[in-house]
């Protein structure tokens, strides 16, 4: 599915962005725009409405009946207002997904993932996300029966700034395996929209098997 840049979208529809709320996707849909990750909505511009539980929910049926492929590429997502606390992307029972050159700003969690394998989140931009109770990238508890959860996930070459919560988080019941966190920039940048009231971690690793943190920059 192609979402045009704001100028083209405005000429066709009278609006420069697409508003979404609670969209569940059960097949390997790839949503693409023509943007790069950054502060401006230069790609396929999407606004996640306030009060949404999530923007997109990629949802397979079970570990044996998964979504194989799909994701987001060249898309810009922003919460409707600064008080937005929606999860932009949820994914469960999914494999071989890509989230590439995606900009996410002004919301709750960027990602909440479980039983999510052989996939990548790379060259993305995360700004003004998270809160005291919401993490930017949240690897949740294992599903169905242990050890099914997140395996062979690459989180690489992303930029994080002005975020709250834990920025990358694997829960104490995650049992994640082969998580690669490489080449990212983690920057304070400016005062977060929803600052933490208690100390949080840039990277929190709970129950995992293999978790590699290499060549990142912390500002």
Residues carrying an active site annotation: 118, 177, 187, 189
Three-class DSSP labels, the chain:
CECCCHHHHHHHHCCCCEEECCEEECCCCEEECCCCCCCCCCCEEEEECCCCCEEEEEECCECCECEECCEEECEEEEECCCCCCCEEEEEEEEECCEEECCEEEEECCCEEEEEEEEEEEECCEEEEECCCCCCCEEECCCCCCCCCCCEEEEEECCEEECCCCCCEEECCCCCEEEEEEECCEEECCCCCCCCCCCCCCCEEECCECCEEEECCEEC
CA distance 185 to 170: 19
Scanning the structure block, which residue is given the tokens 């994701």?
A: 71
How buried is residue 74: exposed, middle or buried, by Cβ count under 10 Å (0-12/13-18/19+)? buried
């Amino acid at each position: 599915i192609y979402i045009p840049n704001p100028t083209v979208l405005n000429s066709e529809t009278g609006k420069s962005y697409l508003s979404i709320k609670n969209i569940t996707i059960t097949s390997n849909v790839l949503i693409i725009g023509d943007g790069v990750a950054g502060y401006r909505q230069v790609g396929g511009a999407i606004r996640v409405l306030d009060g949404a539980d999530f923007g997109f929910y990629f949802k397979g049926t079970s570990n044996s009946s998964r979504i194989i492929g799909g994701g987001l590429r060249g898309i810009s997502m922003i919460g409707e207002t600064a008080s937005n606390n929606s999860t932009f992307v949820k994914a469960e029972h999914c494999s071989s997904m890509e989230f590439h050159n995606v900009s996410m700003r002004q919301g709750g969690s960027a990602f909440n993932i479980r039983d999510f394998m052989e996939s990548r989140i790379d060259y993305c931009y995360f700004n003004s996300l998270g809160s005291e109770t919401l993490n930017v990238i949240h690897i949740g508890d294992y599903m169905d029966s242990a050890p099914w959860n997140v395996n062979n996930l690459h989180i690489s070459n992303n930029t994080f700034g002005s975020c709250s919560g834990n920025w990358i988080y694997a829960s104490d019941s995650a049992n994640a395996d082969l998580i690669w966190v490489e080449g990212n920039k983690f920057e304070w940048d400016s005062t977060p929209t929803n600052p933490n009231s208690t100390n949080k971690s840039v990277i929190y690793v709970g129950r995992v098997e293999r978790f590699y943190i290499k060549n990142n920059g912390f500002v």
